[in-house]
Amino acid sequence: MKKVNIAILGIGRIGKIHLKNMLRHFSGVNVVAVADVNFPADEFKKEFRDIFFSSQPADVVSIPEVEAIVICTPTSSHAAMIEMAVKAGKHIFCEKPVDLSLERTRALVEMAKAAGVKLMLGFNRRFDPDFMEARKNIQAGRIGDIQVVKITSRDPGLPPLDYIKNSGGLFMDMAIHDFDMARYMMGKEVKEVYSKGLVLVDKQVADAGDIDTALTTLVFEDGTYAVIDNSRKAIYGYDQRIEIFGNKGMIQVDNNLHNRNIISDANGIHHALPLDFFMDRYAASYLGEMQHFIDALSNNAPLPVTGEDGLKATVIAVAAKKSVAEGRPVLISEIK
Amino acid sequence: MKKVNIAILGIGRIGKIHLKNMLRHFSGVNVVAVADVNFPADEFKKEFRDIFFSSQPADVVSIPEVEAIVICTPTSSHAAMIEMAVKAGKHIFCEKPVDLSLERTRALVEMAKAAGVKLMLGFNRRFDPDFMEARKNIQAGRIGDIQVVKITSRDPGLPPLDYIKNSGGLFMDMAIHDFDMARYMMGKEVKEVYSKGLVLVDKQVADAGDIDTALTTLVFEDGTYAVIDNSRKAIYGYDQRIEIFGNKGMIQVDNNLHNRNIISDANGIHHALPLDFFMDRYAASYLGEMQHFIDALSNNAPLPVTGEDGLKATVIAVAAKKSVAEGRPVLISEIK
Amino acid sequence: MKKVNIAILGIGRIGKIHLKNMLRHFSGVNVVAVADVNFPADEFKKEFRDIFFSSQPADVVSIPEVEAIVICTPTSSHAAMIEMAVKAGKHIFCEKPVDLSLERTRALVEMAKAAGVKLMLGFNRRFDPDFMEARKNIQAGRIGDIQVVKITSRDPGLPPLDYIKNSGGLFMDMAIHDFDMARYMMGKEVKEVYSKGLVLVDKQVADAGDIDTALTTLVFEDGTYAVIDNSRKAIYGYDQRIEIFGNKGMIQVDNNLHNRNIISDANGIHHALPLDFFMDRYAASYLGEMQHFIDALSNNAPLPVTGEDGLKATVIAVAAKKSVAEGRPVLISEIK
Amino acid sequence: MKKVNIAILGIGRIGKIHLKNMLRHFSGVNVVAVADVNFPADEFKKEFRDIFFSSQPADVVSIPEVEAIVICTPTSSHAAMIEMAVKAGKHIFCEKPVDLSLERTRALVEMAKAAGVKLMLGFNRRFDPDFMEARKNIQAGRIGDIQVVKITSRDPGLPPLDYIKNSGGLFMDMAIHDFDMARYMMGKEVKEVYSKGLVLVDKQVADAGDIDTALTTLVFEDGTYAVIDNSRKAIYGYDQRIEIFGNKGMIQVDNNLHNRNIISDANGIHHALPLDFFMDRYAASYLGEMQHFIDALSNNAPLPVTGEDGLKATVIAVAAKKSVAEGRPVLISEIK
């Protein structure tokens, strides 16, 4: 099988994960080039000597044999990178979100479509083995028709305030994963959003114009619903659970603990805390999403998560924000 | 300690439980008399020979030494029974709800108050040992300030349609327990209610003018919230779980299974289903609520659940129904 | 159905439980009389006014209409009580053990048999709902042929040294329940016993001539085996677990916790400790064993636990003690 | 930090794992050469082009810059490979066991010692993150003084009969891991072994001169003990659990399930089965053991598992076999 030639833009935390995963685990891929404005070229060369490195994305996107671009730069540059890649006719894997602006997101998704360029969004959680197993069970009819999806999605702590200020807010930055997950599990589209938002973790979050605690009800086309419970800070760690209730049964996906030791002492029976760093918790899903991207390119198969999916989650996030602001359920049809 | 003289009105399913609990487990109570329109006097005499029995509630309420009346008649007669008891100056334990009509409920609660008669509502779940333990932990500060309460409350199957028709609907009949539980765990008052209602279990429920599936968001005075997820039919049994999330931790109260056998075979690791009959699941809480009622009378202490609590839960139920009908969040202040 | 007329000898801790259970929960029994040397007659009369009470067992055993005697006196008097009851032609329920002496145990079991008197031993754990469920699953073939039984049986703390001195030792007093349980689950007879015994909890136990920690391997007729792990002190409470491994699956019976609250905080995920008082842990089995005794008498059916069962467990206990003393596996056929 | 130059002998299933782990995850190692009699050189070259490959171990062991040899050849050749490596002055990592013969094992361990060559045995389970966590907790005093270790170690199915015939038998091939684990957790030496052995899975195992089911009691120097329960076939998968009971608490290490989905349906609450392939179950420990080997070489630090450890586990295996044959506890001091 022919190998896919890839270039990566941005090798911060996430870019490095993708790069290492490709080098270590994928036989179907050639990492041809990497670009990063900030990363020292020397250091890169020392560790990844054979790979072409540049501080300029354009140097890398323009390489003829590169077939696909993996965009891991900061959110604010996603739009420009996508545009550059589309114009060069390269397929794209982009970390979520496409852009904080709904208009621009829509325009980019359409541009990619028009150009026949594949655009996959990095909703990595869809590739978590446990969530995939849940989906597989749903599709196999194991729990019948889904009636309710309940997502608990709590971070282990506040990100830096500077990050929050540029994040697009809790719904666009954090809950967007859960909005996508609800659609993924339900297999239907959202028609109404009702969100409550609070600042309970840190008052500075309010000063930054954001919330740190939220509850969102998503109503789907047929009236069934999902509830998403977000907090920026669960003192016991990264809480990522899903419960799906159907007329033939229920699936619960529990947290992934640090270890399987159970200690009984005079005070109780104690289990370890959930993995608290998202890169540990979702290590397998970062690997999985990239594998799926590469496979889709190799087989010219449909992508498992598309720009459209990114757009839909963004619309929900915009509706959620509006719902909090106006204190009422917002119809998806109201957004644009 | 002086024993409390009690009379019971109605010895159907619930009345019998209270009667037997008093006879078996309580040293501080004398069951003086029982009235029931339908129960055969012969059969009663055979089983409970010493207790005065009548088919007429009035015969029993009028007995001078009776200090308190336990009302276990059908909901439609609660109002009349409460009125009779209040007029006779007897303290009252009444199964929920006081009445399907909010006006009448309010009037009865006030009437009891004015007469100096104690009126306790049978929100038995408050006395479930696991929920009491959760409450105790909350009050001890174990999880800090509560931010979210999540209640999963699913019945194991539809009640008969005739029952549904006279029940006051899912919110008044079933979710009312959860509304009370949310207030009990939060220790605060509700200011806004948003409910979605669906008919997913059986279309005949719609014909009966009711819903069988619902999701309710209760917003409390300070903006924190509770989510209640109701279904009339969980195929795996009676699902009664609570999760309380605070800034110092989380408490989860899990279901009570039929047994503690774990069977591993070629297909998986299997645990027993939850207890699926409410009288089994809440056996300890029926005992506990009556014990608390008797104790409160003996000590002339405040009741653990009052007519006011019943009224407040009823107001929430009315608001929930209105919210479904109007498709919007309803303020508690709108009700009346 | 005719009621069974019962007399109880000894109303200490256990006798009181049986008395109350009979009064509260059994419709098929009449408690005719109670005898206790130590219990104040006044106090008894105050609480149980209608029942004939005497300080002399003989007064009670000789009552003609009494059909069965429930023996709850101290172990040292069991033999005399059984003899008295057998001579009077009364059926017998006796708390374990029959006697500390194997010879006397054998003689009493034979005496009862010869007299056609039913003799049931109080191996209450057989009637624990979870263990009964396990047995039912085994008998239904759920796990195929049993290969290994593993019993963890740890007390929450040392009994008083005086008790230990008169207890017959860990094997006769404590592990005897587990020996019976292994036979019950296996449905086969033991042919060899290998035990290790240690004093790890308190050196005074050694001075009292006993051990406080033991491990016993029971080999059954067909070569399959059970392992029993005993300790007088588990700091986390009363640890009563069983694991049964068969060629088609495994059954694990887990502990019964104080409550079902799960608390997650910065240090871990915490469950409650196991019930730590044997009367709480085995409340249902005390009720169940007596129900079975009464039912067997009413139907003239075989008893679920017989004097023979008591004898066999005693033989194993004797073999276990010998095994520790001699540091080698001891054949059951060596005992007597 | 200087990189360690390694050569691997044998790249069957295990050798390939070590090779890939080194290439993917270790920055401190250079894989200089690989030898394998059976592996096609072409295929090797295609996948691992830069690495020197030979069909002759001697070609590889003799390379001057090679500092350490990783032996992954079949058990029958371990002795010859170790000898060759020792003579060449190379450090050694060898998959267990050193040899099926106790005499030869002892001789090789001494030879390595005399030559100042480091010899690490591949008791990979010591490096399982959950077992390491248990050990860490023990050493931190979390459960006080250990009184009992209970190991459940059941394979998901019989290996081929040909494998069994050359395996050295259940104790030498399979239980040897558990013998090492018991020593590792206890931190003490074994003085007595008592084993029962059965053929319950397949009669052909008896024809092959082996057993498929065993129970072993290890008594340690101070009288405390470990129990190891082995079966070649657990129908529900690979069962690898440990329970450690101390005077201040208990640690249980539970199985590692295929996924964290919990499905509730009309029949029960179902969890996934344990991982059933040892290479999946112990993936992290294969990585960990090699990391520790490399680190020890880099720092000239003591090895975490030595040839002595391999020898001690082998002695226990020999004693276990003798115990089954003679039907009695065997002292370690009896072995040689």
Mean pLDDT of D267-278: 96
Query: Residue D247: its chain A contacts at CB < 8 A?
Result: none
Indicate yes or no: CB of D235 within 8 angstroms of CB of C225. no
Distance (Å, whole) CA D260 – CA B290: 41
- The residue with greater pLDDT, A58 or A47, is A58
Is-contact D273 B269, C-beta < 8 A?
A: yes
Closest CB to D215: pick one of C154, C201, C227: C227
Q: Does C199 touch chain D (CB under 8 A)?
A: no
For residue A329, pLDDT beyond 70: yes
Distance (Å, whole) CA A81 – CA A61: 9
Mean pLDDT of D15-24: 94
Please give, rounded to a whole number of angstroms, the shortest distance from the CA of D123 to a CA of chain C. Answer: 26
Name all chains with 3 or more CB-CB pairs below 8 Å to chain C. A, B, D
Alpha helix (H) residue ranges in chain C? 13-25, 41-47, 57-61, 75-87, 102-114, 129-139, 161-165, 170, 176-186, 203-207, 278-281, 283-299, 307-326
Residue C217 vs residues B295, C131, C226, C232: alpha-carbon distances, Å: 52, 20, 6, 18
For the beta carbon of residue D304, count every other beta carbon within 10 angstroms. 18
- CATH of the domain spanning B126-282+313-334, picked from 2.70.70.10, 2.40.30.10, 3.40.50.2300, 3.30.360.10: 3.30.360.10
Q: What is the pLDDT of residues A96-126, one digit of tens each?
A: 999 999 999 999 999 999 999 999 999 999 9
Indicate yes or no: CB of A267 within 8 angstroms of CB of C271. no
Is-contact B54 B11, C-beta < 8 A?
A: no
Mean pLDDT of D315-333: 98
Structure confidence at residue D2 (pLDDT): 77
Structure confidence at residue D191 (pLDDT): 98
User: C-alpha angle C212/C218/C223, rounded to 5°?
Assistant: 165
Residues 6+ apart with CB under 8 A from D27: D3
Indicate yes or no: CB of B130 within 8 angstroms of CB of C259. yes
Residues 6+ apart with CB under 8 A from D320: D171, D175, D179, D193, D195, D214, D216, D330
For residue D76, pLDDT beyond 80: yes
Name all chains with 3 or more CB-CB pairs below 8 Å to chain D. A, B, C
Dihedral angle over CA of B74, B78, B81, B85, nearest 10: 130
Closest CB to D268: pick one of B234, B266, B270: B270
Distance (Å, whole) CA B324 – CA B193: 10
CATH code for residues C126-277+313-334: 3.30.360.10
Mean pLDDT score across all residues of chain A: 96
Tokens of D197: 């052995």
Q: Does B266 touch chain C (CB under 8 A)?
A: yes
Mean pLDDT score across all residues of chain D: 96
Q: Which residue has the tokens 């890398």?
A: A60
Name all chains with 3 or more CB-CB pairs below 8 Å to chain B. A, C, D
Structure confidence at residue A49 (pLDDT): 81
Q: Does B259 touch chain D (CB under 8 A)?
A: no
Is-contact A154 A237, C-beta < 8 A?
A: no
Residue A51 vs residues A31, A60, A294: alpha-carbon distances, Å: 7, 11, 18
Q: What is the pLDDT of residues C277-289, one digit of tens each?
A: 999 999 999 999 9
Of D103, D78, D17, D86, the residue nearest D289 (C-alpha): D17
Domain spanning D4-117: CATH 3.90.660.10: no
Structure confidence at residue B49 (pLDDT): 81
Q: What is the pLDDT of residues B118-166, one digit of tens each?
A: 999 999 999 999 999 999 999 999 999 999 999 999 999 999 999 999 9
Taking CA–CA distances from C237, the nearest residue in chain A reads A266
Query: Residue B229: its chain A contacts at CB < 8 A?
Result: 148, 150, 227, 245
Distance (Å, whole) CA A88 – CA A107: 17
For residue B1, pLDDT beyond 70: no
User: Residue C1: which pLDDT band, with cuts at 50, 70 and 90?
Assistant: low
Structure confidence at residue B257 (pLDDT): 96
Tokens of A313: 């989650």
Please give, rounded to a whole number of angstroms, the shortest distance from the CA of A267 to a CA of chain D. Answer: 10
Closest CB to D247: pick one of C194, C235, C248: C235
For residue A185, pLDDT beyond 90: yes
Closest CB to B265: pick one of C24, C129, C248: C248
> Taking the CA of residue C139 as centre, how many other CA atoms within 13 Å lie in the half-sphere pointing to its CB?
10
Tokens of C14: 């256990």
Q: Is the Cα dihedral C274, C277, C283, C288 positive or negative?
A: positive
Q: Which amino acid is at C228?
A: I
Structure confidence at residue A1 (pLDDT): 58
**Can you point out the beta strands (E) in chain D?**
4-9, 29-35, 52-54, 68-71, 91-94, 119-121, 146-154, 190-198, 213-220, 225-231, 239-246, 249-253, 261-265, 268-271, 330-331
For residue D50, pLDDT beyond 90: no
Is-contact D185 D244, C-beta < 8 A?
A: yes
Distance (Å, whole) CA D88 – CA D111: 12
Closest CB to B129: pick one of C133, C137, C259: C259
Report helix, strand or coil for D146.
strand
A126-283+313-334: what fold? Answer: Dihydrodipicolinate Reductase; domain 2 (3.30.360)
Whole-angstrom Cα Rg for chain D = 20
Closest CB to C271: pick one of A234, A268, A272: A268
Mean pLDDT of C178-183: 98
Dihedral angle over CA of B172, B176, B179, B183, nearest 10: 120
Q: Does D257 touch chain B (CB under 8 A)?
A: yes
Query: Residue B327: its chain A contacts at CB < 8 A?
Result: 329
Q: Does B235 touch chain D (CB under 8 A)?
A: yes
Q: Is the Cα dihedral C23, C27, C30, C35 positive or negative?
A: negative
Q: What is the pLDDT of residues B256-304, one digit of tens each?
A: 999 999 999 999 999 999 999 999 999 999 999 999 999 999 988 899 9
Q: Is the Cα dihedral C23, C27, C33, C34 positive or negative?
A: negative
Indicate yes or no: CB of A227 within 8 angstroms of CB of B229. yes
Q: At what angle do helices B283-299 and B129-139 cross, to 10 degrees?
A: 60
- Domain ranges in chain C are 4-117, 126-277+313-334
What are the residues facing D253 on neighbouring strands? A261, D242
Whether the link from the prior residue into B97 is cis, omega within 30° of 0, is yes
For residue C182, pLDDT beyond 90: yes
Residue A76 vs residues A73, A82, A99: alpha-carbon distances, Å: 8, 11, 7
> Starting from the edge strand earliest in sequence, which strands make up the sheet with A4-9, in order?
A52-54, A29-35, A4-9, A68-71, A91-94, A119-121
Closest CB to C327: pick one of D217, D250, D329: D329
Mean pLDDT score across all residues of chain B: 96
Q: What is the pLDDT of residues D152-173, one digit of tens each?
A: 999 999 999 999 999 999 999 9
Of C91, C41, C299, C326, the residue nearest C196 (C-alpha): C326
Q: Does A285 touch chain B (CB under 8 A)?
A: no
What are the residues facing A94 on neighbouring strands? A71, A121
Q: What is the pLDDT of residues D219-239, one digit of tens each?
A: 999 999 999 999 999 999 999
Note whether C4-117 and C126-277+313-334 share their fold: no
Residues 6+ apart with CB under 8 A from D33: D7, D8, D51, D52, D53, D54, D59, D60, D63, D66
Residue A35 burial class via C-beta count within 10 angstroms: exposed 0-12, middle 13-18, buried 19 and up = buried
Taking CA–CA distances from B135, the nearest residue in chain C reads C261
Q: Does C142 touch chain D (CB under 8 A)?
A: no
Q: What is the pLDDT of residues C49-107, one digit of tens each?
A: 889 999 999 999 999 999 999 999 999 999 999 999 999 999 999 999 999 999 999 99
Structure confidence at residue D49 (pLDDT): 81
